[in-house]
Structure 1
Amino acid sequence: MTTTRPPTTPVDDTFAALRPRLFGIAYRMLGVRADAEDVVQDAWLRWSGTDTAALQSAEAWLVTVTTRLSIDRLRAAKAEREAYVGWWLPEPLVEPLDERTPEAAAELAGELSVAFLYVLERLGPEERAAFLLRQVFDYDYPEIAAQLGKSEAACRQMVHRASERVQQARTRFEVPRGVHHQLLERFIAAAHSGQRDAIESLLSEDAMLIGDGGGKVQSFPHPLVGAFRIANLFWAQWRRMAEQVVYRTVLINGEPGLLRYINGRLESAQAIVTDGERIVAIYAIRNPDKLQGIPLTLD
């Protein structure tokens, strides 16, 4: 016996077409895939119970609902993140390297990277929403004002203030994906060589490593700074485990990064920032709760 799916309606089609944008807003606001998906689901429930024929703009309505739901959820999450053990990093979105075209990956990387979302954690919920809607999703100030229920002047001020804070904290490099990938392959080879100098040569002098264990696994309570200290960490790990450590190159939030497996089990997702010649930052996500969406064992 075969079953057929009920036909989709224009309401379903409209929501499906806008869903990637809604998820993009919610994920950039919250940094957690499950929370973003919950927000989008809540937006769908409200959408499905609304007289959509009376709306002037489906996109404006859905973006407004998604943004406000995200603000509410982020406000609730702020207290939890303040009590979080160690450094809080976003849940990584991991894809195979060949999943996206280079053009699509380049378009996403600067807007979605772990480094970018880490900087956004400095902003308040409404400030973060205003900044994202303007700088990432290119909405005009009258639209942002309507979406946030604020005046245009207030929204301009929030975006200006947020832009200054993000610019001060953010270091961005335009590096071709192929160059980024090649550097990671060299880093993997150096990490497997057992030569500390080889690892150190691929790190900038003031390189930084931030680890997120969430209190579930061991991690550094403070950023590890300096090429020698970071190289020493990877070298010490090689001395202890050698062939037990395997790296896989993937896309992490649109940029080339590494998955590290120890004894065949996923140990961390490492988002890597590079200036094209050396690695300048490593964001090592080790909290097991944030690795659930990634293959946990090697093929």
Structure 2
Amino acid sequence: MRIGLLGTGPWAEMAYAPALQAHGGLDFVGVWGRRAEAARSLADRHDTRAYEDVDALLTEVDAVAIALPPAVQAPLAVRAARAGRHLLLDKPLATSVEDGRAVVEAAREAGVASVVFFTARFQTAVEAWIGEQAAADGWFTGRAEWLGSVFSSDSPFAASPWRREKGALWDVGPHALSVLLPTLGEVERVAAAARGPKDTVHLVLGHSGGASSTLTLSLTAPPEAAGATVELRGKSGVAVLPTSAEGAVEALTRAADGLLDAARTGRPHPCDAAFALRVTELLVEAEEILDN
């Protein structure tokens, strides 16, 4: 599969470009970015071509990977889908329901495959754990704490304008939801949302199977307190999300495997654009509660 990369920021440098270059089933055709010099630099480091025009890149690939802010990603994903290109996207899919729905509809109408990169969902141990808990019955409650120190450390993402605007709800909230939805079931309602220190938010969710869950999300936790935890309690006892030694490149490689499989078989991937749209819908609902 010939694939192009849209985006040149830290996430494109750290995860996407290395994963695309090393993947045995992909031909990494080239890079396009909003900054031409950055695109040239990234392309040179990965022995591929920089494109100054996104449509020129789209004409030469079968798929695109997008590592751009969600407000930029969504319209480009629509554009790529309408050109018949498969989509390897990043979370969040979009920051509005309308933009997210446009991606889903464009992919459906064009008959192209989509995979959205929720990092934890593509880590081997975590994926296996999620499958086990989804098959178990009688979960009563769950809690997720996804605490980052992006704004309280020297993180390369600290200067990200969209993260500074949207905060933890939109950056790490998708990760937590990507674990809770398949294990506890569809969310029927966001029952409550409240703000904590700085960008920290707390959510209470009601799930269709009767379980409830709580989320604590932050990008401003002290580095010593950072980390991710998910705990489920019910008839099966207590289940705790395992840690994973796999990094972003390994996880993204498995996401690319998922895209190849979905494109070949026509079967939707569990983390496709439609799933990511549901995550966006829940985040919008929570944001509306927080803002009122």
Query: TM class, shorter-chain normalised?
Result: under 0.3
What TM-score results when the alignment is normalised by the length of structure 1?
A: 0.27
Looking at CA atoms only, which structure, 1 or 2, has the larger radius of gyration? 1
What TM-score results when the alignment is normalised by the length of structure 2?
A: 0.27
Identify, as 1 or 2, the structure richer in strand. 2
